[in-house]
Amino acid sequence: MQFVEFAEICNTIEETSSRLATADILAEKFPSLTEEELPVFVRFMRGKLFPDWSSEKLGFGPNLLYDALAYVIGKKRDYVVSAINNAGDVGKVVESLLEKREQTMFFSEELDLLDVNERFLLMAKSSGRRSQQERLRSAQYLLSNATPLEGRYLARLMLEEMRIGVGEGVVKDAVSKAFGIPADVIEHAHQALNDLGEVASLAKTDPSQLTEVHITAFRPVKMMLAQQGSITSMVETHGKLAAENKYDGSRFQFHKSGGKCAIYSRRLEEMTASLPDVVGMLDKATDHDVIIDGEVIAIMNGKPMPFQTILRRIRRKHDVGDAQEAITLLPWVFDILAADGETLIDQPFLRRRQILESVMNAYVAPQLVSDSVDEIEAYYHTSLDNGNEGIMLKVLDSPYLPGNRGKLWIKIKPEVDTIDLVVTGAEWGEGKRAKMFGSFLLACQDENGDLLEISRVATGIDDSMLSTLYDLFKEKIIAEKGKTVSFEPDVVFEVGYAELQRSTNYAAGYALRFPRFVRLRDDKDVYEIETLESLTRRYSLQNKEE
């Protein structure tokens, strides 16, 4: 497939507001793509360059893009930056700058979808002193051979931000439609494979494999998540339940196979190099090949330390030796996804737990199995007294649903109303904070994963956090106009608030009253932020209580 055709389809979809029509466009195209093209096409449509399980990163931010573009159009970098700052949409600016250049072009090569993919792989793989230079050269190559429309989508792909409204759900519907496969089969295969590209490709070439998918070592799957709920209603609905401590740490997935081990964060980034002690402990605790789910906590002077301590430790990748002495890390494991090559996610939790206990000789999280509200409440209070966040309630016959935030896992913790939102922009501060970002613009997501702004937050951020945030965000600036900057939406804040209000000031239709920064959620991905649906639920719940 020529890349220009891909760009034209993106353009058609961008101009379509109907989800159904988008799925139809995709479904119509899928069957004609080759086995190699289909997964790439699917990933690119969603603005992804690599499978979701992959830790691969392009290593290409807005700054390199500006350099590459300036080179290609033969203008100074400042010219490009100010054009982008004035317009905001990077893709469209790249397109219009390439349009102006077009008249002076004599020769260019046609870009092919698979060649573009190869280039991206090359960019991601390049490392060492010359890597920036190599990435820049690849971007220059791509942009100088691109038509203006191709440029629009190349730029957005390189920043991994397509924003054409193709979410996971639309792709799943399209695969289902194109190859006549039931939605639940696709859902299940996607949970295990964690790459919609591969799901689409199997749907085309060998649909029977979609029902027999296996979780593979060193390809992490998304973690199962929890909803808020109450002990009473859980016992009423399910009777006997498992209750576990809700550890205030960092989620991990540990893989061991053929003597090799790896550990992944909740965002599925590989953390093996920064957590050598945890990897060593888990490795020693089992002789089996396993894929295990757990939470690592930090202990200082015998006591669990708050979550932030672990993050500091994880970030300090370079002096792992020093950090290891100050804080001890302790993993707790509470689920098992595969053992000795057998995928276990469809087994009931009770059975998985038995297998977990039989393959691990340490670190299995204690559990209370009970149908007594009183007993579970007592367990909850003991858990809080021991420095945990609360408890988790798990339905005994539930499968493991990767990436799912359903009613099978319920978290019980003291009431504080906080939500996770992504930061889309900021304003420069004033006075002594003039060289820092002062207030941050926050967004939630709708059902397509599109971001909708909902609030600003400035309260609750101390000077040291402000400078941490400055360092973090200065690499993520996409555009700047006056005092306002917009960021690549990549960083998640946990934000407290007093009340949710209806509002026409923000695209979400809601605003937060008294928003307050609680903490940086480095462990969370953009796809995990608060949804409009959940906000609507919160809003009606809040008003019912009044």
Q: 77: annotated binding-site residue?
A: no
Q: In whole angstroms, what separates CA 485 from the centre of its chain?
A: 23
Contact between 131 and 409 (Cβ < 8 Å) = no
Strands 418-428 and 484-487: antiparallel
- Considering the complex, state which of residue 225 and residue 466 has its C-beta at the smaller distance from ligand AMP: 225
Rg (CA), the chain: 24
Short-list 285, 291, 4, 294, CA closest to 153: 4
CB of 528 to ligand AMP, least distance (A): 8
- Considering the complex, state which of residue 303 and residue 502 has its C-beta at the smaller distance from ligand AMP: 303
Contact between 407 and 226 (Cβ < 8 Å) = no
Contact between 218 and 257 (Cβ < 8 Å) = yes
Q: 266: annotated binding-site residue?
A: yes
CB of 111 to ligand AMP, least distance (A): 41
Contact between 528 and 491 (Cβ < 8 Å) = no
Contact between 423 and 442 (Cβ < 8 Å) = yes
Would residue 258 be called left, alpha or beta, if left means φ above 0 and alpha means ψ between -120 and 50 degrees?
A: left
CB of 415 to ligand AMP, least distance (A): 13
Instruction: Say if residue 153 is exposed, middle or buried (CB neighbours under 10 Å; 0-12, 13-18, 19+).
Output: buried
- Considering the complex, state which of residue 37 and residue 295 has its C-beta at the smaller distance from ligand AMP: 295
Q: 499: annotated binding-site residue?
A: no
- Considering the complex, state which of residue 198 and residue 244 has its C-beta at the smaller distance from ligand AMP: 244
> Which residue has its beta carbon closest to ligand AMP?
251
Q: 334: annotated binding-site residue?
A: yes
CB of 172 to ligand AMP, least distance (A): 24
What would the DSSP string read from start to end of 154-205? HHHHHTT---SS--HHHHHHHHHHHHT--HHHHHHHHHHH--HHHHHHHHHH
Provide the residue type at 11 as one letter.
N
Strands 510-513 and 499-502: antiparallel
The whole-angstrom separation of Cα 502 and Cα 519 is 25
| Tokens coding 85 | 């700052």
Q: 411: annotated binding-site residue?
A: yes
- Considering the complex, state which of residue 176 and residue 265 has its C-beta at the smaller distance from ligand AMP: 265
| Tokens coding 474 | 């200065």
CB environment 159-193: b (16+ within 10 A), e (fewer):
bbbbebbbbbebbbbbbbbbbebeeebbbbbbbbb
Q: What's phi and psi for 217, nearest 5 deg?
A: -60, 140
Active site residues: 246
The whole-angstrom separation of Cα 153 and Cα 47 is 9
Give the residues lining the site for ligand AMP (CB under 6 A): 223, 225-226, 244-247, 251, 295, 334, 365, 392, 411
The whole-angstrom separation of Cα 347 and Cα 502 is 43
Q: 295: annotated binding-site residue?
A: yes
CB of 247 to ligand AMP, least distance (A): 4
Q: 546: annotated binding-site residue?
A: no
CB of 328 to ligand AMP, least distance (A): 18
Would residue 302 be called left, alpha or beta, if left means φ above 0 and alpha means ψ between -120 and 50 degrees?
A: left
**Binding-site annotation: residue ranges for ATP:** 244, 251, 266, 295, 334, 405, 411
**Binding-site annotation: residue ranges:** 244, 251, 266, 295, 334, 405, 411
